[in-house]
């Protein structure tokens, strides 16, 4: 009997230990260790509390089971790559997300975040790199989805070459130094929305079929360069919007097919700053540029205004005469260039005739383009019964459209080189 007991004990000692959970594997791994995940599902939620590399080899899935946040990084120096994260909880008050980062110098690349209320939630997280990821929310009405990316008190992050769709907003709060570039953002509410977030860059993104493309709200010194901002339509459709924003640079963008191409609500707010709007294609919009009120400090130059239903509008009884208009091309300009210097010999002017009644009475916009306003406008121009109001006057408009192809080619063919030591290490 004793011999049999000893044999059973030896067999038990020799048997393999019970399989560890993924959380246990992560907790037991030394700093800097690489954990390679087997293909298939791995149960979440997970919390990563020390620097490791987790590689899903393109076939591993971390499934949150519909509860809480699926993966949380609470440290610095983690690399998460080549896997799918899915099935977060549904609670907005807890910000249930696919991935939450509360740390610095982490790298997240080649990740798919699916069926997660919020996609990426960065909270007090700086100098992180988020590259080539896919993010979508849950199959819910747009207003009930979470944000694709939520950046809160987080600085100097790089968000590039990602594909975001069918989420609510990409929102940046109280954060600076973030670079959002070379992404594709589709079918959301706010493509990119800044709130009290200064000195950030938005470059070479395609933002399409959102309610609003890029909105700058109480956010100063934002650069919006080389983007395609397309088809922001509907009652609130704006390509680029300003709300009490100063020091913005909006240049070399294609702003096409939006209800309003550029919307400016008292901006710049800082009287010592201007907003610079240059070399954009502003085309096929309902309104090219709309001002909420008579203001000053926005400089427009070398923009092409092409086939907009209305080139410029001003709400209420104001004008845009105090804004800076210098060297833009207007496709409805009727002047000549007799001396061949490329500039029109007569000013370009927009007057407020009867067809602009909808600027003073917004509900009249329903009839914009209809026969009633068209007939009223014809009679008003033929024999004005009121003094038409001058809205815009540019002294030397361009006679020919500005050739932006060189800048666009440079943008399209620019070699994407890492610009920081961190980027070089995380390619």
> Distance between CA atoms of 380 and 377, rounded to whole angstroms?
5
Phi first, then psi: give them for residue 287, nearest 5 degrees.
-130, 130
The first and second tokens of residue 226, run together, are 């080389």
Listed by start position, the domains of the chain span 32-188, 212-353+388-413
- Asked if residues 125 and 157 have their Cβ atoms less than 8 Å apart, the reply is yes
pLDDT for the residue 3 = 57
pTM of the full predicted structure? 0.85
pLDDT for the residue 277 = 98
On the 0-12 / 13-18 / 19+ scale of CB atoms within 10 A, 235 is exposed
Positions in the chain short of pLDDT 50: 1, 7-18, 355, 406, 409-422, 424-425
Nearest to 304 by CA among 224, 395, 392, 401: 401
The first and second tokens of residue 117, run together, are 């209320």
pLDDT for the residue 388 = 76
Kindly report, residue by residue over 348-368, the tens digit of the pLDDT.
999 876 545 555 566 655 555
Nearest to 28 by CA among 61, 50, 57, 55: 50
Nearest to 160 by CA among 391, 333, 416: 416
CATH of domain 32-188: 2.160.20.10
- Asked if residues 318 and 293 have their Cβ atoms less than 8 Å apart, the reply is yes
pLDDT for the residue 364 = 57
Kindly report, residue by residue over 376-399, the tens digit of the pLDDT.
555 555 556 566 789 999 999 999
Q: Reduced to 3 states, what is the DSSP secondary structure of residue 197?
A: coil
pLDDT for the residue 14 = 45
Specify the pairing of strand 389-394 against strand 348-352: antiparallel
Specify the pairing of strand 179-181 against strand 201-203: parallel
pLDDT for the residue 235 = 81
Q: Reduced to 3 states, what is the DSSP secondary structure of residue 96?
A: coil
pLDDT for the residue 105 = 98
The contacts of residue 375 (CB under 8 Å, 6+ apart) are: none
pLDDT for the residue 233 = 86
> Distance between CA atoms of 328 and 397, rounded to whole angstroms?
5
């Amino acid at each position: 009997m004793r011999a049999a007991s000893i044999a059973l004990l030896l067999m038990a000692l020799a048997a393999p230990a019970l399989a560890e959970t993924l959380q246990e594997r992560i907790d037991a791994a030394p700093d800097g260790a690489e954990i390679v995940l087997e293909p298939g599902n791995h149960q979440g939620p997970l919390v990563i509390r020390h620097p490791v590399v987790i590689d899903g080899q393109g076939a591993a899935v971390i499934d949150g089971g519909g509860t809480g946040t699926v993966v949380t990084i609470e440290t610095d120096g983690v690399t998460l790559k080549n896997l799918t994260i899915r099935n977060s909880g549904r609670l907005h008050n807890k910000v249930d997300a696919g991935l939450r980062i509360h740390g610095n110098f982490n790298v997240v690349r080649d990740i798919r975040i699916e069926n997660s209320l919020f996609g990426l939630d960065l909270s007090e997280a700086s100098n992180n790199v988020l590259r080539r990821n896919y993010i979508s929310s849950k199959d819910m009405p747009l207003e009930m989805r979470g944000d694709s990316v939520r950046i809160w008190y987080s600085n100097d992050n790089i968000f590039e070459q990602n594909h975001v769709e069918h989420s609510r907003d990409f929102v940046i709060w109280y954060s600076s130094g973030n670079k959002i570039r070379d992404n594709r953002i589709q079918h959301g509410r706010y493509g990119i929305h800044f709130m009290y977030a200064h000195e950030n860059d938005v470059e070479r993104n395609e933002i399409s079929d959102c309610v609003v493309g890029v909105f700058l709200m109480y956010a100063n010194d934002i650069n919006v360069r080389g983007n395609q901002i397309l088809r922001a339509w509907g009652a609130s459709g704006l390509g680029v919007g300003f709300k009490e924003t100063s020091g913005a640079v909006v240049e070399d963008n294609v702003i096409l097919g939006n209800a309003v191409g550029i919307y400016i609500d008292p901006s710049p707010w800082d009287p010592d700053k201007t907003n610079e709007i240059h070399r954009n294609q502003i085309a096929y919009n309902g309104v090219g540029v709309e001002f909420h009120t008579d203001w000053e400090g926005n400089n427009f130059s070398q923009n092409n205004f092409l086939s907009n239903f209305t080139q410029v509008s001003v709400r209420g009884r104001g004008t845009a005469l105090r804004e800076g208009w210098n060297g833009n091309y207007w496709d409805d300009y009727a002047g000549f260039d007799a001396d061949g210097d490329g500039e029109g010999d007569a000013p370009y002017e927009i007057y407020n005739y009867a067809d602009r009644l909808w600027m003073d009475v917004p509900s009249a916009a329903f009839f914009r383009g209809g026969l009633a306003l068209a007939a009223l406008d014809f009679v008003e121009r033929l024999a004005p019964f009121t003094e038409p109001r001058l809205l815009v006057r540019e002294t030397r408009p361009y006679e020919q459209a500005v050739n932006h192809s060189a800048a666009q080619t440079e943008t399209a063919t620019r070699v994407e080189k890492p610009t920081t030591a961190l980027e070089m290490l995380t390619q």
